[in-house]
Amino acid sequence: MHDYLKKLNEAQREAVVNTKGASLVIAGAGSGKTRVLTYRIAHLLANGVPPYKILALTFTNKAAREMKQRIGEIVGFEHASNLWMGTFHSIFARILRYESAYLGYDSNYTIYDTSDSKNLIKSIIKEKKLDEKTYKPGQILGRISRAKNNLITPSTYQNNSTYYSTDEAHRVPYTGQIYAAYMKRCKISGAMDFDDLLLNTNILLRDHKAVLEKYQQKFDYILVDEYQDTNFAQYLILKKLAEKHHNICVVGDDSQSIYAFRGAKIENILNFQKDYPEMKVFKLEHNYRSTQNIVNAANSVIANNQKQLPKKVFTENDEGEKIGIVRAITEVEEGHLIANSIQEKRLNEQKKFSDFAILYRTNAQSRILEEALRKRNIPYRIYGGLSFYQRKEIKDLVGYLRMTINPNDDEALKRIINYPARGIGSTTMSKLESAATANGISIWQVLAAPQNYGVNINSGTTKKLQGFIILVQQFTELAANNDAYDAAIQIASNSGLLKDLYNDKSPEGRSRYENIQELLNGIKDFVSNAHEEGTDVKLHTYIENIALLTDMDKNKDEDQERITLMTIHSAKGLEFQHLYIAGLEEGLFPSSMSMESPEEIEEERRLFYVALTRAEQTASLYWCQSRYKWGSVESKSPSRFLKELDQAYIEATSDDNYSFENPEPGQTHFRKPGSQPAFQNSSTRKSGTIKSRNMRQPMRSRPTANQGPAADPNFTPDPPENIKEGQTVIHQRFGRGEITRIEGEGTNRKASVQFASGRKTLLLRFAKLKVI
């Protein structure tokens, strides 16, 4: 037996050595599915199969790199480098470059990203004189994307009454026409979007028999990781390529299917059984990744899903620590509790930063976590997303804020003068810019009187430019007369930026909208802080603060080892010794967007299963009693998934004597009325009545000037004169803290408070502290 086969258990070895025919490896998390694929490829190579005859598809490029590395270690790197291994998109983009002529494309075609696509759709909508309010570009792009992933071409789309009638129902009957125009324009520009890569590969293989046969001959073996998340277009490509030899091996876990919103179909697993009736099924049940507590806890939650294939997962690893559940008062406190815990564990147990990861449901959650980590100099890296302040939408809003403070800021001006679109085109911009350069002045100065600098602009454009000038002047006035938050929220709204993002209902669009909300939360924090500390609350001070923040970011040493921050969606297939999951609250995780159907809740539950099963040694789950939303405090109840965890494997920790099982009378503890009954899946659980507190608060409040932190109606602060040294208090934003010192008299009475996030000096008249 080859040495490498000894590194597999019997079930895995079977799945590795049976290389002929169709194989389906269906197994739970951490049971070695990816390991089986890796070793199966190594085994093929060791038995003389040339690497270029093997096609291996992974979910991320990172996964492909890691697999190649491992295979190289087993059979030598010269073999591994010639494998056809990568994501669906990267592999088929490559094939399309070779075969582009069949489709009438150049081999150097461009790949459009979402914003390119959206801009193109916008201009088509405009050309067709359709209303952008009805035909929202993001939504139209979503409809086109779904059509492409189901292999519906524009002509099929336009001739199909079902599509026509759903478009009619959504009052967008011309979607088919936009789709056709979009495809045509992409082609003229020599561009394909992401979905085209799969659609065009399908067309290529469908319409050009010689090409199909060439690749059927070429790839003797096909292997696919994370098969549960393939969509119809991907499924069909695989089916065509494997038609002749049937040497196809797919591995997956239906319990980890988390991309239904992008068209992934669990049905592909069932179709697989139909397409290859002779297929062999391999079940792996031995989890090597996680402790018993983690495996059992994850199993107990996923058992609540109706729709799943039966499978077992066990581990021979240690029992390990119980899953920690931590309640924080606010998300600021949550960030600091997590950061403290990481710091402590690292020092006490001599861990590396790279042993830790923090996962969250939405990108917007990262800002507060980043701040807490920065405060302690804990190096981190955000995967699958840009650092918060680097994101486009954040830069756009900050661009407006910068323009407001200093209209001569050319970079900010270029960024936002035509975003959201105001019909100020690139020709006008380049005229203005060259005049500015020639005269040694800012673009803003040229804008005021273009004719004085020899710039000829027609009257229509002149009007648009004047509109922009007035807008910025209004903002400048706003910023002079309001605090940073009041100014920023009105700028976000009056600039049209908020609306533009709001109109985009795609998952990416939603996430951008949430990010803006999160930036505004940060500004709100800045204002409350400044009020309490008696410092300046104006926009220019805020802008200066964040400029320093981003500078600090840039100076981070790239080679340093770091902790990982990522959304759960991008954590698929990965593993970490110590895992933290933040924001386990109803409405956040599961997401409020998923509450409408049991199917969506099941998808959220699978997402939770993916999250928890990333942990090797410890997992800690955090939730907050309250969270900022649009500058107001919203009460939160713990996620139903926390309650579904078998109580035998969890340990609720809290330093305020909070017991997860038996909330003290009168203590705030929440359950959404009508939600799943809590604590029923454990024999050890006593059924206590859980008081529900008003759960729904207005999603938005329009803050007015002078209104300190927007109030949680259930939060009644103690009068300033009752605050004494040595007391433990709660602050609405910073959470628990201890009063270390009181000084001053009357309205100047100040307290030094030690919070988890550090020491603060607060003016008691603003601080709204509650003694506990």
Q: Which residues bind ligand ATP (CB under 6 A)?
A: 7-9, 12, 27, 29-35, 253, 256, 288-289, 573, 575, 613
> Of 34, 175, 228, 517, which residue is the catalytic one?
34
> Of 614, 627, 640, 643, which residue is the catalytic one?
614
Smaller CB separation from ligand ATP, 288 or 630: 288
Numbers of helices and strands, H then E, in the chain: 29, 24
Peptide bond into 154 cis (omega under 30): no
How near is the Cβ of 12 to Mg ion at its closest, in Å?
13
* Residue 366, marked binder: no
Q: What length is written for the chain?
A: 772
C-alpha–C-alpha distance, residues 185 and 119, integer Å: 12
- Binds 261: which of ligand ATP, Mg ion, none (CB < 5-8 Å by kind): none
C-alpha–C-alpha distance, residues 284 and 290, integer Å: 15
Residues in a beta bridge with 771: 729
How near is the Cβ of 30 to ligand ATP at its closest, in Å?
4
C-alpha–C-alpha distance, residues 147 and 277, integer Å: 29
DSSP states of 277-332: TT-EEE---EE-SS-HHHHHHHHHHHTT-SS------EE-S---PPEEEEEESSHH
Query: What sign results for the dihedral spanned by CA atoms 3, 7, 10, 12?
Result: negative
Smaller CB separation from ligand ATP, 300 or 315: 315
Going by C-alpha positions, the residue among 603, 610, 540, 524 that lies closest to residue 574 is 610
Residue 343's H or E segment, with its range, is: helix 331-348
Smaller CB separation from ligand ATP, 32 or 717: 32
* Residue 339, marked binder: no
Smaller CB separation from Mg ion, 312 or 741: 312
How near is the Cβ of 18 to Mg ion at its closest, in Å?
19
Going by C-alpha positions, the residue among 88, 227, 181 that lies closest to residue 572 is 227
Q: 3-state class of 486 per DSSP? A: helix
- Binds 514: which of Mg ion, ligand ATP, none (CB < 5-8 Å by kind): none
28 is a site residue for Mg ion (CB under 5 A): no
Q: What is the DSSP letter of 638?
A: B
How near is the Cβ of 30 to Mg ion at its closest, in Å?
8
**Is 94 noted as a catalytic residue in this protein?**
no
- Rule CB under 5 A: choose which of 12, 31, 34, 528 binds Mg ion: 34
Residue 94's H or E segment, with its range, is: helix 88-99
* Residue 423, marked binder: no
* Residue 29, marked binder: yes
**Is 614 noted as a catalytic residue in this protein?**
yes
How near is the Cβ of 574 to Mg ion at its closest, in Å?
9
> Of 99, 226, 253, 634, which residue is the catalytic one?
226
* Residue 23, marked binder: no
How near is the Cβ of 34 to ligand ATP at its closest, in Å?
3
What separation in angstroms does the CA of 215 have from each of 61, 105, 222, 276, 736? 22, 19, 11, 19, 63
* Residue 33, marked binder: yes
Tokens of 584: 């386990």
* Residue 68, marked binder: no
C-alpha–C-alpha distance, residues 287 and 134, integer Å: 50
CA atoms within a 13 Å half-sphere pointing along the CA-CB vector of 21 = 14
Tokens of 404: 């407001």
Binding pattern for the stretch 569-598 against Mg ion, x by CB under 5 A and - elsewhere: ----x-------------------------
Smaller CB separation from ligand ATP, 295 or 479: 295
C-alpha–C-alpha distance, residues 92 and 115, integer Å: 22
Going by C-alpha positions, the residue among 578, 615, 618 that lies closest to residue 354 is 578
Residue pointed to by tokens 């309001």: 482
How near is the Cβ of 356 to ligand ATP at its closest, in Å?
17
Phi, psi (5° rounding) for residue 328? -110, 160
C-alpha–C-alpha distance, residues 711 and 731, integer Å: 11
Phi, psi (5° rounding) for residue 671? -145, 140
How near is the Cβ of 605 to ligand ATP at its closest, in Å?
16
* Residue 252, marked binder: no
- Binds 650: which of Mg ion, ligand ATP, none (CB < 5-8 Å by kind): none
**Is 244 noted as a catalytic residue in this protein?**
no
Residue nearest to Mg ion as judged by C-beta position = 34
Smaller CB separation from ligand ATP, 187 or 283: 283
How near is the Cβ of 691 to Mg ion at its closest, in Å?
42
Peptide bond into 420 cis (omega under 30): yes
Q: 3-state class of 761 per DSSP? A: strand
Burial of 748 (0-12, 13-18, 19+ CB in 10 A): exposed
**Is 33 noted as a catalytic residue in this protein?**
yes
Smaller CB separation from Mg ion, 178 or 610: 610
Going by C-alpha positions, the residue among 626, 618, 614, 615 that lies closest to residue 586 is 626
- Binds 533: which of Mg ion, ligand ATP, none (CB < 5-8 Å by kind): none
Smaller CB separation from ligand ATP, 35 or 322: 35
- Binds 30: which of Mg ion, ligand ATP, none (CB < 5-8 Å by kind): ligand ATP
> Of 19, 60, 175, 256, which residue is the catalytic one?
256
By rule CB under 5 A, what count of residues binds Mg ion? 3
Smaller CB separation from ligand ATP, 288 or 383: 288
Q: Per residue in 121-141, is it b (16+ CB within 10 Å) or e — as a string?
A: bbebbeeeebeeeebbbbbbb
Binding-site residue ranges for ATP: 27-34
Interface contacts to Mg ion, rule CB under 5 A? 33-34, 573
Task: Supply the residues annotated as catalytic.
Answer: 33-34, 225-226, 256, 614
Binding-site residue ranges: 27-34
